[in-house]
Amino acid sequence: MVPTFEPSAGRAGSGARGRKWRLVGGAVRRLSVASLSLVASCGVASCGVVTERERDLAVSVPAGGVSAAVCSDPLNDEDGHCALELKDSHRRTSAPVAGQDEALDEAAVAVHRWVHDAGCVERTTGADGPCAGAGELSATEQDVAEVRRSLAAGGYREAVVRLGRDTDPTLPGALIYAVRVGEVCVLGDVTPPPDERWHEWYAGLLPDGRCLDA
């Protein structure tokens, strides 16, 4: 079953572009054209029509359908985040385009679900129950710690969670997380105020096999 989100006004939540998202049917998914969690709809490389703007914002994808990084949402890039996601792509290995690897897409949804749970404000059955309401996160050290704990609880003990550095593919000071899944990095961030927008994307590995510089 593909997870879904329902948007509502508020701080950055487990969705994109400065919205808070509420769980629908007990699962989680981001609803944007080129998002990592979009596994059964149109994306930059899967709908047959790629605009000039999309070509300008995304890395060139070779015949094998992989690239060093894939912009999370080139059609809704009003905050200029695509350039940040791709800024270190020249150092990375290749990564599939969203929707090309079902197992990877499902793994990415699971990662983002654990991150969403870190900001859960309402649970169905006690402190450890499933998240029943909106997930809210901000770019703070406190939320970095919460996301790190949540990912560790989900088995992602090697995940990197921190406030973004100048060398990271995000805004300095954003909450950024990175989980290696096979030979691909699943990344996401929440940018600092005033926008506090949520983004998710894939990228290849850095030369040392990491997803973010040490």
Residue whose token pair is 């402190």: 127
Contact status, residue 178 vs residue 159, Cβ threshold 8 Å: yes
pLDDT bucket at 157, cuts 50 / 70 / 90: very high
pLDDT bucket at 9, cuts 50 / 70 / 90: very low
pLDDT tops 50 at residue 37:
no
pLDDT tops 50 at residue 39:
no
Predicted pLDDT of residue 42 = 27
For 128-183, the DSSP string reads TSPB-SEE---SSHHHHHHHHHHHHHTT-TT-EEEEPPTTSSS-TT-EEEEEEETT
Predicted pLDDT of residue 44 = 26
Domains of the chain by residue range: 4-44+51-203
Instruction: Establish how many alpha carbons lie within 13 A of residue 40's alpha carbon, considering only the half-sphere containing its beta carbon.
Output: 7
Predicted pLDDT of residue 73 = 79
Strand order in the sheet with 198-203: 69-70, 198-203, 184-190, 175-181, 160-163
Rg over CA atoms, the chain: 16
Predicted pLDDT of residue 57 = 37
Q: What is the mean pLDDT of the chain?
A: 73
Predicted pLDDT of residue 165 = 97
Predicted pLDDT of residue 180 = 97
Between 88 and 99, whose confidence is greater? 88
Predicted pLDDT of residue 13 = 45
